[in-house]
Structure 1
Amino acid sequence: MFRIIAGILVAFILSIAVLIYFGLYAVFRAVLYNTNERKSGHVPLPTGEGYDQHQESMQELVDLMKEIPYEEVRVRSFDNLTLYGRYYEVKKGAPLQIQFHGYRGEAIRDMAGGNRVAREHGQNTLVVDQRAHGKSGGNVTTFGVKERQDCLTWARYAAKRFGMQTPVILSGVSMGAATVLMAADLKLPDNVVGIIADCGYTSPEAIVRDVGRARRYPEGAVWWLVKTGAKLFGHVDLASCGAISSIRKSRVPVLLIHGDADRYVPVRMSRELYEAAEEAGVPVRLEIFRGGAHGISYLTDVPRYTDLEMEFTSGLMKRYIREYSGEKESERGKI
């Protein structure tokens, strides 16, 4: 009898373990895994409240970006993936902005507004497909944990290709914003002069918990499932870093942008990022767009967004060019 009971108990425990294992895998596939079909598929424009009134403008921006000639660029990631980007050149030797799109987004959709601002004000742009998106390699997205290392790879590529005399701004929307913020404490090339983060979240844990809470799931359980699935199947620790800790160590000024009608990444996260940077003495500016839905602050107020970004980037870039030229003149004088 004892053996029968023990056998039943072991079978029950194994059944539970199998259910948990496959449950974790299902969560991993749903949240972090992008199939090749999904990667190469069309990413539609967002719809619903806050977006419908901007449909025509969004489509015009995307269509414009599709028409502009670009150079295809590929680099190797730290873990040997091929990363893909589009280089849009306005003028040889012009300052450069490297732009990163959001979670399961598309580069020419998410960055269309910011790219237009940069191009029309004389900046070259490098618009990248994040890992597990578009034409970049991999199938696992990691909420910025590995993507921040990809950001470093792109920054080093830009420094090598365009030279240290070319100032670089890192910019991103949503997960792209979290990516550039989480890269802020890495050893970026000295010609990276600033960061623009539009509606970024504070950490992978914070955004996963927030989404779980918004959908009325137990947020602690949701986070455990996503975090554990990521470790088991994606080989990544989502708790290993976050934008809050990284922004405190930024050596460059940061511009934070957020719409106060954002239903995906709450505006309080940018406020928390601002407070963390300010407490650490990092030059930081926070601009909130009234009525702005997730990722479309640009369309909420085009003139203000344009002026804001140009004021932030042009000053930093001009100062870097002037200082870099001065250093070179000084070096030549010593020879």
Structure 2
Amino acid sequence: MSCGPEADFAPSCVPSITSSGQRAVLLTDDGVRIEAARTPRVPLQQAPFAPSPGPPSAPVGDLALVLAHGFTGSLDRPALRRTAAALSQHADVITFSFRGHGGSGGRSTVGDREVHDLTAAIRWARSLGHRRIVTVGFSMGGSVVLRQAALHGRRGPDGGRGEHGERTGACPDAVVAVSAPARWYYRGTASMRRLHWAVTRPTGRLVSRVGLRTRIHPEQWDPVPLSPTEAVPLIAPTPLLLVHGDRDPYFPVDHPRMLMAAADPATTALWLERGFGHAENAAGPELLRRIGAWAVARAGTGVPPPPAP
């Protein structure tokens, strides 16, 4: 898909890159305004209940987890707020709404230009003082974190460095993809056939806009973006964790196995979770605890990940 003029900004958007307290509006490289928020780290012993964003003076930690939600999600959806609260027991958490979702501007390209949105969130996290960044993506967001790491990592077009050789702020230090597809245009499940109807049909896009607050771009991809399977070999030596459930109603387990087969086994781990469904809506506290622990252990280390539990 290609993006046309930004004629449908969300009312909450403000010009340029501005922030107020724990909320911000980010301007992407292609000119879309994206809403974002920071949840400071609140260790478990201090947070028996889900933490709310702290005051502007809350200290910035060395590590930040940047969460990329699934299709029809947003930073204010209960599932992502619950996920952010659980992961904030391990590190500061950055959440944002992809284009066409929630209070962000533009229209969704269902994983194509969303790479720009994630990159803007990573750069914002760096500007706040976070030196280590782990991207954690769910479903559509899982495909986005894989492609973003491939494009901006050390094997990407600029080798993760700017024109003068300095490390760019867009290169993540570790990547987690939860419930991510391996290939595009998959229609092998009833859930994916419904999603394709919502994306490709005018009536489906109207239902998505009115009922799900998700505005979808009507144009098809041109060119077709790098697929997740093509992206994962380019991520190494950045540590990569693939998480998938054996009860995923969207993508069966051949998807994570394809991703693992294409990835570098020295720096990649695959967790096939028994009884786990799909993305942030199904991720429970124990799984999120293990993902947070993996992120803390692997960010910036460059060492091989542990085997699947």
Q: Deviations over 1:236-274 (max 9, x none)?
A: 426232111111100311111111111112222111111
Give the residue type in structure 2 aligned to 1:250.
I
Give how far 1:141 is off: 1.5
Percent of aligned pairs with the same amino acid = 21
Please name the residue that 1:152 is paired with.
Answer: 119
Give how far 1:115 is off: 1.6
Residues 112, 258 of structure 1: CA spacing in aligned structure 2 closer, same or farther, 3 A cutoff?
farther
Please name the residue that 2:212 is paired with.
Answer: none
Residues 210, 239 of structure 1: CA spacing in aligned structure 2 closer, same or farther, 3 A cutoff?
farther
CA distance in 2, matches of 1:282, 1:318: 15
Q: Deviations over 1:142-196 (max 9, x none)?
A: 2211011221222223223325xx1000011111111111112112546621111
2:135 is the alignment partner of 1:170: yes
Please name the residue that 1:210 is paired with.
Answer: 188
2:114 is the alignment partner of 1:136: no
CA distance in 2, matches of 1:187, 1:158: 16
Residues 100, 127 of structure 1: 8 Å contact kept: yes
Residues 144, 182 of structure 1: 8 Å contact kept: no
Residues 215, 309 of structure 1: CA spacing in aligned structure 2 closer, same or farther, 3 A cutoff?
closer
Give the residue type in structure 2 aligned to 1:241.
L
Give the residue type in structure 2 aligned to 1:263.
P
Residues 86, 289 of structure 2: 8 Å contact kept: no
Give how far 1:212 is off: 7.0
Please name the residue that 2:305 is paired with.
Answer: none
5+ residue gaps, structure 2: 2-6, 12-19, 42-58, 154-167, 206-216, 303-309
Structure 2 residue corresponding to 1:79, chosen from 30, 45, 52: 30
Secondary structure, in 3 states, of the residue corresponding to 1:183? helix
5+ residue gaps, structure 1: 1-27, 29-34, 41-68, 321-335
Aligned length: 240
CA distance in 1, matches of 2:40, 2:224: 37
Residues 131, 141 of structure 1: 8 Å contact kept: yes
Runs of 4+, deviation exceeding 4 Å: 211-216
CA distance in 2, matches of 1:319, 1:204: 32
CA distance in 1, matches of 2:300, 2:34: 30
Please name the residue that 1:293 is paired with.
Answer: 277
Give the residue type in structure 1 aligned to 2:262.
A
Question: Who wins on radius of gyration, i.e. which is larger?
Answer: 1
Give the residue type in structure 2 aligned to 1:99.
L
1:22-101 aligned within 5 A: 71-90=22-41, 91-101=59-69
CA distance in 2, matches of 1:116, 1:205: 33
Q: Deviations over 1:59-84 (max 9, x none)?
A: xxxxxxxxxx9711111122211011
Residues 97, 169 of structure 1: 8 Å contact kept: yes
CA distance in 1, matches of 2:246, 2:100: 29
Give the residue type in structure 1 aligned to 2:290.
L
2:88 is the alignment partner of 1:119: yes
Kindly indicate whether structure 1 or structure 2 has the higher relative contact order, using CA contacts under 8 Å at least 6 residues apart.
2
Structure 1 residue corresponding to 2:234, chosen from 246, 249, 253: 249
TM-score after normalising by structure 1: 0.62
CA distance in 2, matches of 1:213, 1:306: 24
TM-score after normalising by structure 2: 0.67
Please name the residue that 2:160 is paired with.
Answer: none
Give the residue type in structure 2 aligned to 1:259.
G
Residues 60, 128 of structure 2: 8 Å contact kept: no
Give the residue type in structure 2 aligned to 1:240.
P
Give the residue type in structure 2 aligned to 1:77.
T
Residues 66, 93 of structure 2: 8 Å contact kept: yes
Please name the residue that 1:315 is paired with.
Answer: 297
Please name the residue that 1:183 is paired with.
Answer: 148
Secondary structure, in 3 states, of the residue corresponding to 1:149? helix
Residues 282, 159 of structure 1: CA spacing in aligned structure 2 closer, same or farther, 3 A cutoff?
farther
Give how far 1:318 is off: 6.5
Secondary structure, in 3 states, of the residue corresponding to 1:262? coil
Q: Deviations over 1:290-322 (max 9, x none)?
A: 1112124532xx33x1452133111123648xx
